[in-house]
Structure 1
Amino acid sequence: MVKKKSKPNDNNVMATNRKARHDYFIEETYEAGIALTGTEIKSIRERRLNLKDGFVSIRNGEALLQNVHINEYTEGNQFNHDPLRSRKLLLHKREIKKLGDAVATKGVTVVPLKVYLKHNFAKVLIGIAKGKREYDKRHDIKAREQKRQIDRVMKHY
């Protein structure tokens, strides 16, 4: 029997970074696992995390997820986790090397796009992102408004 590749559906998506798509052009995406503690995964299952200011840094051949806020687990005890700690991303060595080469160029960063559950494991979708300028953002807003107007007119026909 052939296994189907499952896509993250809306039920499994725990958090999305909508600001990333607004501020960056996403060139390439990767799926990575996250090394978490017990209370962190419980907080993620409760959807108590924020990806807005998150980014990925490459140090010593490891990819680290920085600045992602995972709230403390409410039922946790003194062994609760630090909300802003760096978390190791689980990627293949060649993927980490690609990310490191991409980050070495000016104006390119790696940002988390969404966190979701896949087979009860937390996964993060990260993207190689190039910064948008202000006129690029205005162009996207204009195109979105035009599409909205066309949909509105076509709705009546």
Structure 2
Amino acid sequence: MARPRPEAFKKVKTVAENRRARFDYAIDEVFEAGIVLQGTEVKSLRFGEGSIAESYAEVRDEQVWLVNSNIPEFSHGNRFNHEPKRPRKLLLHDREIAKLHGAVARKGMTLVPLSIYFNGQGRAKVELALAKGKNAADKRETTKEREWKREQGRLLKEHG
């Protein structure tokens, strides 16, 4: 009997999305991770501000860190406002961290954040992917495939 497919994460409000990641990387496995934030960072994210376009994750000292993500300072914050580009700790189970560390160390894979969102309970989560970089030929193939699907849709709409 086939193993049941895991259901997708319950995203209530997506704040930031890394759309380029699916084009630049071949996504192997996706994880949901909690993120350690300060108060003003949560408020900025709730206003829909934040970017993970050039960010990545790394395993350091048995912990996973989100590096180079930008959450701008909260507009109504005071002197306790946060630093916009600081590294942020991601919360994962030890078993998942060990799996990620092994894949990055042995297979040369990369940890890419796909999106930051709020789940049903109002907690900020990061969708983290274990991915391998595509070369130029793979990217061309992806573009060709996308254009063909678009063309198929047009043909079906016209004749169907």
TM-score band, normalised by shorter chain: over 0.9
CA distance in 2, matches of 1:19, 1:72: 24
Amino acid at match of 2:138: D
Whether the 8 Å contact between 2:9 and 2:32 is mirrored in structure 1 is no
The match for 1:139 is: 141
- Could you tell me which amino acid in structure 1 is paired with residue 147 of structure 2? E
Quote the residue 1:61 is aligned against. 62
Residues 19-44 of structure 1, C-alpha deviation per residue, up to 9 Å, x if partnerless? 11010001001000000000000011
Counterpart position of 1:79: 80
Q: Give the Cα–Cα distance (whole angstroms) in 2 for the partners of residues 30 and 106 of structure 1.
A: 18
Taking the aligned partners of 1:17 and 1:89, their CA distance within structure 2 comes to 17
For residues 135 and 108 of structure 2, the distance between their equivalents in structure 1, rounded to whole angstroms, comes to 11
SS at match of 2:131: strand
**TM-score normalised by length of structure 2:** 0.91
What value does the CA root-mean-square deviation take over the aligned residues? 1.5
Distance 1:6 1:51, change over 3 A: closer
In the superposition, the TM-score normalised over structure 1's length comes to 0.93
Residue among 99, 123, 127 paired with 2:129: 127
Runs of 4+ in structure 1 off by over 3 angstroms are none
Alignment partner of 1:99: what SS? Answer: helix
Partner of 1:89: 90
Cα deviation 1:103-139 (Å, max 9, x = unaligned): 1035411010011101110000000010000010000
Structure 1 gaps of 5+ residues are none
Aligned counterparts of 1:38 and 1:140: Cα–Cα separation in 2: 40
Q: Which has the higher strand share?
A: 1
* SS of alignment partner, residue 89 of structure 1: strand
Partners of 1:36 and 1:29 lie apart in 2 by 21
| Aligned positions, number | 152
2:11 to 8, 12, 15: 8
Identity among equivalent pairs (%): 47
Letter in 2 for 1:147: K
SS in 2 for 1:58: strand
